Amino acid sequence: SLFRLKDLEVAELGDCDVRIKMLAAPINPADINMIQGTYAILSSLPTVGGNEGVGEVLEVGQRVAALQPGDWVIPASTGLGTWRTQGVFPEKLLLKVPSDVPMLCAATLSVNPCTAFRMLTDFESLAPGDSVIQNAANSGVGQAVIQIAKASGIRTINVVRDRPDLSKLVDRLMALGADHVITEEMLRKPEMKDLFKSIPKPRLALNCVGGKSTTDMLRHLQPKGTMVTYGGMAKQPVTVPVSAFIFQDVRLRGFWITQWKKNHAQELPPSLADLASMMDALYQLIRRGQLTAPACTEVPLQDYKAALEAAMKPFTSSKQILLF
């Protein structure tokens, strides 16, 4: 195994640093890709895994203004190494979380819901009544897309892989606010025409699979629609028929939340206002009960091996959350 549970010395607290005690941190597909060395960020080894989570402030350096002991914080960017009981981090790498945000919501907020929010906002100006189509709709991002879209009056067509307990999954996504849940096979069927009698064709498609599922999804986009790719779980390229480009003038874009956050951290304000206003919008949704944590399984840190194995199984519909 690449993993060890190790005791490390906690760094000295500098003037601009914050000592935090981690409370909960999820295992995301990108965390596993980073460990496998197939991700765009490669840490020098040995390193601490984990890119998101929520912690409680224990102690702050003399020049730390915005945080105090007892505050909850989440990472402002990727690569913090959240799978640890304690750590010392520069204040600028942390965002304060309002105290009324539930722990599991906070622990899973900085990657998937932010990705969902940006993709629904930045590529097409969607209005109430418009529709979006997405694959891997049961993923963490997928569940956030359903809820954020629903809160804005945008309808969702959600594609999932066929599976033994399909009806249970369909019920769960419908309960989150999905308008339609269909299998990849159904995308190819003539019955899709009936579906579009009650819902407009989507202007936006969100893809984190690749391969055939993506090509089939693309066929249902409106002319001049946009497909945004943010993952490649099938490990197959995105294949686009020439006709989609020529006759439909579709746009193909990519999105990576790490890059978005990097761009916004490096520019001078007011671009940080984009990050703040997104976080505020997400907190509002959480307060209104319109955005919940994804389906989660809570695992104590010492059982991390079981959690990693579970996270890598196919058809997982529950996110593994390490508790410290």
Within a 13 Å sphere around the CA of 29, how many CA atoms are in the beta-carbon half? 19
Return the structure tokens found at 40: 């765009």
Pairing relationship of beta strands 155-160 and 251-254 according to DSSP bridges: unpaired
Handedness of CA 112, 255, 175, 168 (dihedral sign): negative
Give the pair of three-digit tokens for residue 153: 């009056």
Of the listed 39, 230, 283, 304, which one is catalytic? 39
- Spatial neighbors of 299 by CB under 8 A, at least 6 apart, are 306, 307, 310, 320, 321, 322, 323
Q: How far apart are CA 154 and CA 151, in angstroms?
A: 8
Count CB-CB contacts under 10 A for residue 95: 19
Cis peptide before 46 (omega within 30 of 0): yes
Distance in angstroms (rounded) separating the CA atoms of residues 136 and 302: 30
Is 39 an active-site residue?
yes
Q: Could you tell me the two tokens for 160?
A: 């999932």
> Of 77, 79, 89, whose CA–CA distance to 41 is shortest?
79
Q: Give the chain's count of helices (H) and strands (E).
A: 11, 13
Length of the chain: 324
Query: What CA–CA distance (Å, rounded) separates 85 from 61?
Result: 19
Buried b (16+ CB within 10 A) or exposed e, 205-242: bbbbbbbebbbbbbebbbeebbbbbbbbbbeeebeeee
Could you tell me if residue 193 is left (phi over 0), alpha (psi between -120 and 50 degrees) or otherwise beta?
Answer: alpha
User: What residues are annotated to the active site?
Assistant: 39
